[in-house]
Amino acid sequence: MKVLFIHGLASSGAYKMASSLRILLKGSEVIAPDVPIDPSEALELLKGICASESPDLIVGLSLGGFWAQKLRGFRKILVNPDFHVSRLLRSKIGIMEYLSPRRDGALSFRVTKAACDGYEALEATQFDNLTNEETSLTRGYFADNDELVDCFDEFMEHYPGRGKRYPGSHLPNFPQLKQYIITDLTNEISS
């Protein structure tokens, strides 16, 4: 199986969830790019990867869940997706530090008003034209103690019956990922 992992804000493809997926999905190839902060560059990169790699599964965490949701036609898991990252970014205009190492060595990035506007424009149409097929390809997992974002109700409005709560916080640890998310995925694939 080929898996595309999309990290969250201020992170990178080196984030620990990528290595956890490699362990939990033994034998799978996990593609974990460093996603640009600029929304148009990010979407272009991710659509290009999907076109060239044809992943069997996309796993997106937080902002990565927003991006995964935008990549139509693929089986996907959204983990604590943030469907309104522009709200958070508007409070952080300026320089932010990355929380995990980037391949290009960058230690920080600039949040601009233009980037916030770009995210807001994408957010406005993110649920447009959802088909039954697309809904059936998408699962959402939401921590019951998420300290950063809670888009569960919004997800369930657009993906009825496709979301689950699990005990944990915004960034799932290895045991939570294994017990609540990967076990479900494995059961779904084998059924």
The DSSP line for 59-115 is EEETHHHHHHHHSTTS-EEEES--TTHHHHHHTT-EEEE-SS--TT---EEEE-HHH
Task: Identify the CATH class of 2-190.
Answer: alpha beta
Per-residue pLDDT at 184: 78
Q: What is the pLDDT of residues 107-124, one digit of tens each?
A: 999 999 999 999 999 999
Model-wide pTM > 0.85: yes
Q: How far apart are CA 51 and CA 132, in angstroms?
A: 22
For 56, the token pair is 């069997």
- Where does the pLDDT of residue 186 fall: very low under 50, low under 70, confident under 90, or very high at 90 and above? confident
Compute the average pLDDT of residues 41-64: 98
Domain boundaries, the chain: 2-190
pLDDT averaged over the chain?
Answer: 95
Q: What is the pLDDT of residues 123-178, one digit of tens each?
A: 999 999 999 999 999 999 999 999 999 999 999 999 999 999 999 999 999 999 99
